[in-house]
Amino acid sequence: MARNKAFEPEEKLKKAKDLFWQKGYSGTTMQDLVDTMGLNRGSIYDTYGDKHSLFLMCLTSYADSTLADFQQAVTETKSPLKAIEKIIKRAVVRTVAEGKTCMGVKSTFELASVDAEVHTILKDNTNGMVAVLKELVKKAQKAGEISAKRDPGVVAAFIVANFTGFWQFYLVYQDAALIQQQADFLIRSIKK
């Protein structure tokens, strides 16, 4: 009947995601997307809708992959405390290795208070990360690896909140060693 799509929508979406990730939502123009995705204007609108819905797709994709990363750390590691430490370690690596600041955090500060759809995606994502860590904390407490005096939910939220601090400080100081010190301090804090 008709010609097939000549491009991989998911592959192009990844390029769009990287661009939004780097430049933010309002910092990214439609022309940037046309250039970076290597796609025609019309093809973008036909395939993904307008700029805003394209961004939502990118943010959702990002959120899903980071959450999957969390969950993978759980299945990879037997000791719940080690799994927590692995998640923290990965946050450090992501902070200092990738040149870009966590897209979720950036989007939170740029859009969460003015864009309801973005807010929902970010809230769900944060819920997911906290839930994974909460389960790990509970298990670590049962295993005697973490003091049972702490509320698992508070500990979990505390860890996730600290990642945001990592990114802010790395943006300001660009000092990998500093982030590592913060992470060490964080791990020490949750054990007691």
Over its C-alpha atoms, the chain yields an Rg (Å, rounded) of 19
C-alpha distances out from residue 108 to 24, 48, 61, 76, 150, Å:
11, 22, 15, 29, 28
Cβ–Cβ contacts within 10 Å for residue 37, how many? 22
Among 59, 81, 84, 186, binds a second copy (CB under 8 A): 186
> What's the CA gap between 176 and 99, in Å, rounded?
12
40: partner contacted, choices a second copy, DNA, none (Cβ within 5-8 A by kind): DNA
Taking phi over 0 as left and psi of -120 to 50 as alpha, with beta for the rest, 37 belongs to alpha
For residues 80 and 152, which CB has a smaller minimum distance to a second copy in the complex?
152
Interacting stretch for a second copy, rule CB under 8 A, among 11-19, 24-32, 50-58, 90-98?
Answer: 24-32
What's the closest the beta carbon of residue 6 comes to a second copy, in angstroms?
34
46 binds DNA (CB under 7 A): yes
Task: Give the integer Cα–Cα distance in Å for 99 and 80.
Answer: 30
Count CA atoms within 13 Å of residue 38 on its CB side.
8
- Considering only 39, 81, 92, 122, the residue that binds a second copy (CB under 8 A) is 122
- Provide the mask over 90-119, with x wherever binding to a second copy is found by CB under 8 A and - wherever it is not: -----------x---xx-xxx-xxx----x
Report how far apart the first and last C-alpha atoms of the chain are (Å, whole number): 66
The reply on whether position 45 binds DNA by CB under 7 A is: yes
Give the separation between CA 123 and CA 100, rounded to whole angstroms: 21
Residue 6 contact among a second copy, DNA, none, beta carbon within 5 to 8 Å by kind: DNA
Binding site for DNA (CB under 7 A): 1-7, 28-31, 38-43, 45-47, 50-52
Q: Site residues (CB under 8 A) for a second copy?
A: 24, 26-27, 101, 105-106, 108-110, 112-114, 119, 122-123, 126, 150-151, 154-155, 157-158, 160-169, 171-173, 178, 181-182, 185-186, 189, 192
